[in-house]
Amino acid sequence: MARSATSRHPRLLSDPDVFRYVAARIVSLAGSAVTFIALPVLIYGITGSPTWTSLVIVAEAVPYLLLGLLAGVMADHVDRRRMMVTTDLLAAATLATIPVAAWLDVLTAPHVLVAALVGRTIFVFFDAANQGALPSLVPRDRLPSANALVFGGSTVAETVVPVIAGALIVVVSPASVIAIDVLTFVASAMLVRSIARPLSASRPAGSAIGWSAVGDGARFIVRHEVVRIMIVIGALVAFSAGSLMAVLVVWADRVLDVREGDWRLGVLYGAWGVGAVVGSVVVPMLVRRFGGVRAALLILPVAAVSGLALSLPSTWLPAAVLVALWSVMYIMIATISVTLRQQVTPEPLMSRVMTAGRMATFGVGYPVGALLAGVLATRMDADDAILACQASLLLAAVIAWLSPLRSAPRTLAPAADADAPNTTN
């Protein structure tokens, strides 16, 4: 019986293409975790300004708002593998300018911001292709486990990497540490290129990128009630994440007495990774037990409490514990939201719908949260700024429980035209 069950549901990583895809994501996100820490530390060290520090987060997120739908349309009309490889290599070249400029002693805060903006713009196009690629490799009923595997594997790396990066920053400049991310982008490109199976369905002859195509993903979201509400909730959750990340270094410095070069800064970032690992392990079980929508309803009130509690600690250890708890909630909501969109979206619209959702969360919620937190941290204590911004999680919980999500079915059916690629070609 065990052998029969295994044959029906083989381990995801036993598929070489899934393994290469997951490995590419882990390698790339591990490198990005280095940059995630190094960029705020770098620009805060250059300027000493909370506003400048928050602008790094804004610069990394704004491209989703401006280019998200266009990137989604492109990913639905071109070869996703080629798009991912090309953007990985372009991102590597962009980030490489930071350590090179630092080594030449010509690095400035505007340079860091421009590199962050350009790098994130490139990433929007990579992410559009990436978000549509996984459903091409994994059956839709296994997407919760596949997404949890990607998130979990990535965050195992992100648990270790921040501690290592924090230690490296003590002895190596943050700009030099960013060179690690350059290498991981190249490695990711090589792994994606080695995937044998197509990452895109065949496209109808004559399909083209136009304004009607750009709007298709948005129209699908507007029509699909559950996906629409979850994207609103996702934007509010992303607002809380952007605000926390924008002031984490400032909060550590001014409230927790943890400054640049202190190993405890790496622990604070590592706590984020620990929480994400736990959330990635737990979320498939919750989805199997309650269904995606109901699991989100249960998680959101706990997320609100954990977010508001971040304003309470005045020492680093309780703060790290609360950051880990907040991260558990964040990763579970993010996984559920992504999985729901992938499960119900027709393949020809996959990248557009996925990127439209990312546009709302990381193009609106994340940068607005980061900018507001940076401004508030210049006018009040950092912990008070965190309290004000984390109230977005409370709003998300209220919206969810007052919405039609309460009566949504346990399992959402795919859209009627989910098999469109097979019937139009």
Give me the DSSP letters along 249-299. HHHHHHTS---TT-HHHHHHHHHHHHHHHHHHHHHHHHHHHH-HHHHHHHH
Rg (CA), the chain: 21
Cα–Cα dist 162/334, whole Å: 21
Question: In the prediction, which pLDDT does 298 show?
Answer: 95
Question: In the prediction, which pLDDT does 60 show?
Answer: 67
Nearest CA to 242 out of 348, 349, 368, 146 is that of 368
Question: In the prediction, which pLDDT does 239 show?
Answer: 94
- 252 alpha carbon, distance to own chain's centre: 23
Three-class DSSP labels, 190-205: HHHHCCCCCCCCCCCC
Q: Which stretch of DSSP H or E encloses residue 141? A: none
| Interacting residues of 315 by C-beta distance below 8 A, sequence separation 6+ | 256, 257
Question: In the prediction, which pLDDT does 3 show?
Answer: 42
Q: What is the DSSP letter of 312?
A: S
Task: Check if the beta carbon of residue 162 is closer than 8 Å to that of residue 266.
Answer: yes
- Which value, to the nearest 10 degrees, does the dihedral of the CA atoms of residues 126, 132, 136, 137 take? 60
Q: What is the mean pLDDT of residues 22-27?
A: 84
Nearest CA to 146 out of 29, 26, 24, 13 is that of 13
pLDDT higher than threshold 50 for residue 5:
no
More reliable by pLDDT, 59 or 8: 59
Give the global pTM.
0.70
Task: Check if the beta carbon of residue 346 is closer than 8 Å to that of residue 217.
Answer: no
Distance, first Cα to last Cα, the chain: 40
Q: pLDDT tens digit string along 224-274?
A: 888 889 899 999 999 999 899 888 888 998 999 887 667 788 788 778 778
Cα–Cα dist 280/268, whole Å: 19
Q: pLDDT tens digit string along 31-50?
A: 777 787 788 888 888 888 87
Question: In the prediction, which pLDDT does 2 show?
Answer: 41
Interhelix angle 263-290/16-47, nearest 10 degrees: 140
In the chain, the percentage of residues whose pLDDT exceeds 90 is 26
Give 338's pLDDT tier (boundaries 50, 70, 90). confident
pLDDT higher than threshold 70 for residue 420:
no
| The residue count for the chain | 425
Q: Check residue 10 and give left, alpha or beta (phi > 0: left; psi -120 to 50: alpha).
A: beta
In the chain, the percentage of residues whose pLDDT exceeds 70 is 85
Q: pLDDT tens digit string along 360-417?
A: 887 788 888 988 998 898 889 999 999 999 999 999 999 999 999 998 887 776 665 4
Query: How many Cβ atoms sit within 10 Å of the Cβ of residue 290?
Result: 15
pLDDT higher than threshold 60 for residue 67:
yes
| Interacting residues of 380 by C-beta distance below 8 A, sequence separation 6+ | none
Task: Check if the beta carbon of residue 258 is closer than 8 Å to that of residue 268.
Answer: yes
Give 418's pLDDT tier (boundaries 50, 70, 90). very low
- Which value, to the nearest 10 degrees, does the dihedral of the CA atoms of residues 329, 332, 338, 339 take? -160
Question: In the prediction, which pLDDT does 1 show?
Answer: 39
More reliable by pLDDT, 211 or 191: 191
The residue assigned the tokens 């859209």 is 415
Give the largest CA-CA distance in the chain.
Answer: 65
Which domains occur in the chain, in start order? Answer: 13-196+215-416 (1.20.1250.20)
CA of 303: how far to CAs of 3, 354, 391, in Å? 40, 23, 10
Nearest CA to 340 out of 354, 361, 352, 328 is that of 354
Question: In the prediction, which pLDDT does 204 show?
Answer: 53
